[in-house]
Amino acid sequence: MATLGMSEADKKAVEDFKRDVVDPSRTSLVIVDFWAEWCGPCKQLTPIIEKVCADYASKGVKLVKVNVDENGFIASQFRVQSIPTVYAVFQGQPVADLSQARTENQLKQMLDQLLGQLPVESEERNQAAEIAPLIAMGEEVLEAGDAERALSVFAQIAEMAPDNAAVIAGQARALIALGRLDEAEAALEAVPQEHAKDAGIERARAALSLARDAKPLADLSGLEARVATNADDHEARFELSNGLMANGDRQRAADELLAIIERDREWNNGAAKAQLLKLFEAVGLEDPWVGAQRRRLSAILFT
């Protein structure tokens, strides 16, 4: 904003705006709320926008309120014709008009979209970058079969980021591997609402469900004999698959489920397919082993 020919009051308004909005917007997403004391809709929006911006402070969001009666020059520069008018400013430029967001969910959705597109610096992003290698280490240890050590790693990370979905999921899967199912369930039930649909959390839930179904058996020979005698004894084959899962033999467990699907895909309302998909999710949909088994499933279903 050029200051040539401006009054002293307007010059001060520009300097204040630069200090409060333009400079912070170099790294943060600044939400500028144009309002006035006499504006009824402004008073309705105020508690909503203040709450959401406070919730998003760790994501790099900052709220600045501009009273149009006291800062008419600034309002005119933004061509504010009615209030409330709300703009998102990043790197000195308006990047979105948020004026139509009148509910908490609407405002959060718009902010989430902006934060996903802009390189906004935040405590959350900095922390995510810091703990990413630690999470990878925990996953590597868990994959190697040392669930006790993996649980210890995830517990230490949780002290830094207690609400991180990947950390919660890692802890839960480590607890499941140790047979501490009730503790894993409690951890998953305590997941913050915004992470309820996270892929890692869903994977941990699938692993917990499988663990609840599975029954470790020292001797599977009886079930194997029943299947050998009658290949269509799907109940025995399903129990055998669960026993194999409980014993850590996911390949043979998948083989038995695929055998049921091949012989009778509708058996027990499609229980074998549902269990197999649950196994895929528990292992991880990006895992190469899962990709191979999914191709086997497709070959059965579409040939």
Question: Which one is predicted more confidently, 168 or 58?
Answer: 168
Q: What is the mean pLDDT of residues 34-47?
A: 93
What 8-state DSSP symbol labels residue 22?
Answer: I
Radius of gyration of the chain (CA): 28
pLDDT band at 1 (very low <50, low <70, confident <90, very high): low
What does the pLDDT look like over 58-92, one tens digit per residue?
899 999 999 999 999 999 989 988 999 999 999 99
The percent of the chain in helix, strand and coil, each rounded to the nearest 5, is 65, 10, 25
Position 5 scores a pLDDT of 59
Q: Note every long-range contact of 129-132, with CB atoms under 8 Å and residues 24 or more positions apart, other chains counting.
A: 130/160, 131/157, 131/160, 131/161, 131/164, 131/167
Q: What is the mean pLDDT of residues 24-40?
A: 94
Coil, strand or helix at 98: coil
Which element (helix H / strand E) includes 133?
helix 123-143
Which residues face 220 on adjacent strands? none
pTM above 0.75, yes or no: no
CA-to-CA dists, residue 223 to 218, 226, 243, 259, angstroms: 12, 5, 9, 15
Task: Work out whether strand 85-90 and strand 93-97 pair parallel, antiparallel, or are unpaired.
Answer: antiparallel
Residues annotated as part of the active site: 39, 42
For the cut 80, the answer to whether the pLDDT of residue 3 exceeds it is no
CA distance 29 to 86: 13
Task: Work out whether strand 61-67 and strand 85-90 pair parallel, antiparallel, or are unpaired.
Answer: unpaired
